[in-house]
């Protein structure tokens, strides 16, 4: 029999049993929709992680004191200079941070500030929408200038951040002149949000706000990604030399690349977990298909006998029943993908990042077909294997 | 007239034995059956139920293999054929007419008739024309697109006959073809077989109905797995 005719026969039989076929596809629909969504969620999650960390240079290494607050043996500007002597380090600069009561006009609240050297802004991809960034002169001349994160400015000006540039804010009753307003950064992946912070020249922050509580971190930028681990080794040995009291063990050294990798692997693990749930759903739906196909073969036993009597070969019978299982599951796959696609906006409503991908579509359809073939094969084989005499005699 | 020697042997079966193992007992259903059917013969195999006639039909219809014996169908050694070749043999050498018609319920009359041609690999348009021709021949030109459940018993049997003859097989094999028909339809069906016989077909009818058998050219009796001519 020609393939076209066989397909036609398959469709006639499926159409005749519309309702049963539809019920059978339900499992496949759910399974495929789940696969589609899982892959979409996975892709969405990964995109989110990548976007989150896109502002972060993967060659960045953070060196911090292992303890917070006042420490006996803090990192110093001098350490940063020493780090740059390593062949694997492109640049290194100290950062201090702290919190205090911020005030602008009538509004006041607790907030956090960073004391930075100008290079820090470049390394963290900070840029201004109004005004200017902090400059070398501000650091050396102890200018009491501040640059504001966009959310901070928004909150303190009640929605008119533009007006704050050129005005003064108070931190712990000290006044600072706002010289710039930053563009939104988004989540930086660090403990604090840049958008909610105030940036001051490091010397100014230490002199007027932190005093002897100053406990700088050092941000090190490696020459390139491959030199990150060598750079870390160098930093450790430098710290062992200069901080004899506790050596490098009293500092935490974390590189951004490994943080990105671990965030990505968390997202991947999540997708794999969901994917395995989807596969279980498909297996269950496959068992449903197998069940229905067995019933179908049983019901049509006499018909199979007739087909054999008029010359259908074993492989033609097998193809016909396998074809029915595959078409049912493939149609389920298509419907499932459509439903999955339709669910994406619903997930976004629940703030779950889902990104429909061609991969997800292909994977869903592939799995639906595989399910049909795998679970349709045994019933179809049973049909093909029927003894024609017994099949003809079956009532 | 042709002389007997010039005619082809359609069925040429010798010393057919068919045994079944039932529990510890060996049951001999066909006992040394020898049967020859020449081209354009119209033969009835008459026997009561349990006589072995269904088994004989299964063997002659290439649906079952005998325990021993020889069987040539239209010159081809059936017992040497593998399963796939048997399927092709059933498709090309034999037209089956069943007692219960055995039409496929989801296919229309014409789709049912086309089926043997489609299994032969003939393309759809060609099969359609040939199927239509046979249905018209049997007076069903207005029933082409009807499904079996929309047809009377007599009409269903005519569709089944059309399906049997559509591929012009050398042998028509009918198993109790009137068994599910009322007496008028039975007569119609026998008339159709007679017409087919006059057109040159070779027909073997298996029946328990003496009235049917008597209307045929030749009758062979089967009892307890043995054949008797008169």
For residue A70, what pLDDT is reported? 66
For residue A362, what pLDDT is reported? 92
With CB atoms and an 8 Å threshold, state whether B107 touches A303.
no
pLDDT tens per residue, range A62-95:
888 887 666 778 888 888 888 988 888 888 889 8
pLDDT tens per residue, range B23-59:
889 999 999 999 999 999 999 999 998 898 989 999 9
Phi, psi of A110 (to 5 degrees): -75, 145
Which stretch of DSSP H or E encloses residue A167? none
Residues of chain A with confidence (pLDDT) below 50: 191
For residue B108, what pLDDT is reported? 96
Sequence-distant (≥ 6) Cβ neighbours of residue B13 within 8 angstroms: B33, B34, B35, B36, B59, B60, B69, B70, B71, B72
Alpha helices in chain A (DSSP H): 3-16, 18-54, 77-83, 118-123, 136-140, 150-156, 202-205, 228-242, 256-299, 301-309, 314-349, 358-384, 388-393
CA B24 from chain centre, in angstroms, equals 34
Structure-block tokens of residue A73: 């043996």
Q: Are B190 and B215 in contact (CB under 8 A)?
A: yes
Mean pLDDT of B182-193: 92
For residue A275, the distance in angstroms to the closest alpha carbon of chain B comes to: 40
Chain B hits for A310, Cβ within 8 Å: 90-91, 96, 115-116, 119, 163
Q: CA torsion angle for B163, B169, B170, B176 (degrees, to 10)?
A: -20
Ordered by where they begin, the domains of chain B are 41-65+82-228 (3.40.50.300)
Sign of CA dihedral A115, A121, A126, A132: positive
For residue A210, what pLDDT is reported? 86
A contact test, residue of B53, B56, B63 with most A CBs within 10 A: B63
Instruction: Report the chain B residue with the minimal C-alpha distance to residue A391.
Output: B63
Q: In this predicted model, which residue has the larger pLDDT, B162 or B217?
A: B162
Which stretch of DSSP H or E encloses residue A157? none
Place of tokens 């539809």: A22
With 0-12 / 13-18 / 19 or more C-beta atoms within 10 angstroms meaning exposed / middle / buried, residue A63 is buried
Alpha-carbon span A63 to A86, nearest angstrom: 15
For residue A43, the distance in angstroms to the closest alpha carbon of chain B comes to: 46
Phi, psi of B101 (to 5 degrees): 70, -40
Tell me if residue B96 falls in helix, strand or coil: strand
Alpha helices in B63-182 (DSSP H): 83-93, 109-119, 124-137, 153-165
With CB atoms and an 8 Å threshold, state whether B90 touches A311.
yes
Tell me if residue A173 falls in helix, strand or coil: coil
Please state the ipTM of this predicted complex. Answer: 0.93
Question: pLDDT at residue B151 above 70?
Answer: yes
B42-46 and B203-207 strand pairing:
parallel
Chain A hits for B102, Cβ within 8 Å: 302-303, 305-306, 309, 392
For residue A55, what pLDDT is reported? 59
pLDDT tens per residue, range A305-341:
999 999 999 999 999 999 999 999 999 999 999 999 9
Considering only the beta carbons, identify the residue of A1, A13, A392 that sits closest to B106.
Answer: A13
Place of tokens 């399974």: A31
Mean pLDDT of B214-228: 91
Tell me if residue A185 falls in helix, strand or coil: coil
Q: How confident is the prediction for chain A on average, in pLDDT?
A: 87
For residue B1, what pLDDT is reported? 46
Given CB atoms, is B128 within the 8 Å cutoff of chain A?
Answer: no
β-bridge mates for residue B222, sequence order: B227
């Amino acid at each position: 029999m020609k393939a076209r005719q066989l397909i036609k026969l398959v469709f006639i039989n499926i159409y005749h049993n519309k309702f049963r076929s539809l019920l059978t596809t339900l499992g496949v629909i759910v399974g495929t929709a789940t696969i589609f969504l899982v892959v979409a969620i996975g892709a969405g999650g990964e995109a989110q992680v990548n976007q989150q960390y896109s502002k972060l240079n993967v060659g960045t290494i953070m060196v911090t004191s292992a303890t917070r607050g006042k420490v006996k043996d803090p990192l110093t500007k001098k350490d940063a200079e020493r780090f740059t002597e390593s062949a694997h380090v492109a640049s290194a600069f100290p950062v201090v941070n702290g919190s205090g009561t911020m005030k602008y006009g009538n509004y006041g609240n607790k907030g956090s500030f960073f004391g930075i050297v100008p290079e820090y802004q470049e390394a963290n991809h900070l840029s201004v929408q109004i005004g200017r960034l902090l400059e070398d002169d501000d650091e050396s001349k102890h200018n009491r200038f501040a640059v504001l994160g966009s959310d901070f400015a928004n909150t303190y000006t009640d929605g008119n951040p533009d007006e704050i540039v050129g005005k003064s804010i108070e931190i712990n009753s000290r006044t600072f002149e706002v010289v710039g307003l930053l563009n939104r950064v988004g989540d930086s992946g660090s403990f604090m949000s840049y958008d909610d912070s105030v940036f001051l020249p490091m010397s100014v922050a230490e002199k007027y706000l932190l005093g002897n509580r100053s406990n700088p971190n050092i941000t090190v930028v490696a020459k390139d990604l491959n030199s990150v681990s060598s750079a870390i080794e160098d930093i450790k040995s430098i710290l062992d030399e200069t901080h004899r009291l506790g050596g490098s063990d009293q500092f935490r050294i974390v590189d951004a690349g490994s943080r990105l990798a671990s965030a990505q692997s968390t997202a991947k693990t999540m997708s794999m977990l969901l994917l395995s749930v989807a596969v279980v759903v498909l297996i269950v739906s496959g068992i449903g298909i197998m069940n229905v196909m067995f019933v179908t073969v049983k019901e049509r036993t006499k018909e199979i006998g007739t087909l054999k009597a008029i010359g259908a070969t074993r492989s033609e019978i097998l193809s016909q029943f396998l074809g029915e299982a595959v078409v049912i599951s493939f149609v389920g796959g298509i419907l499932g993908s459509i439903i999955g696609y339709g669910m994406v906006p619903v997930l976004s409503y629940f703030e779950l990042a889902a990104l429909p991908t061609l991969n997800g579509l292909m994977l869903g359809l592939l799995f639906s077909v595989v399910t049909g073939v795998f679970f349709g094969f045994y019933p179809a084989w049973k049909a093909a294997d029927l003894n024609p005499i017994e099949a003809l005699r079956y009532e | 007239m042709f002389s007997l020697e010039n005619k082809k042997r359609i069925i040429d079966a010798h010393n057919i034995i068919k045994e079944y193992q039932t529990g510890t007992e060996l049951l001999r259903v066909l006992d040394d059956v020898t049967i020859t059917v020449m081209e354009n013969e119209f033969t009835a195999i008459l026997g009561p139920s349990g006589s072995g006639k269904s088994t004989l039909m299964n063997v002659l219809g290439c649906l079952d293999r005998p325990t021993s014996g020889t069987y040539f169908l239209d010159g081809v050694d059936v017992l040497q054929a593998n399963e796939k070749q048997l399927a092709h043999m059933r498709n090309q050498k034999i037209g089956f007419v069943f007692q219960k018609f055995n039409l496929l319920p989801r296919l229309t009359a014409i789709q049912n008739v086309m089926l043997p041609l489609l299994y032969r690999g003939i393309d759809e348009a060609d099969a359609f024309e040939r199927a239509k021709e046979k249905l018209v021949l049997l007076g069903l030109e207005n029933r082409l697109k009807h499904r079996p459940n929309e047809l009377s018993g007599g009409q269903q049997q005519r569709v089944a006959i059309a399906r049997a003859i559509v591929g012009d097989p050398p042998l028509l094999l009918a198993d109790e073809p009137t068994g599910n028909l009322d007496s008028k339809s039975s007569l119609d069906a026998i008339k159709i077989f007679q017409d087919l016989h006059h057109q040159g077909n070779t027909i073997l009818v298996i029946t328990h109905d003496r009235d049917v058998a008597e209307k045929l050219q030749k009758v062979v009796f089967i009892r307890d797995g043995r054949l008797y001519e008169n």
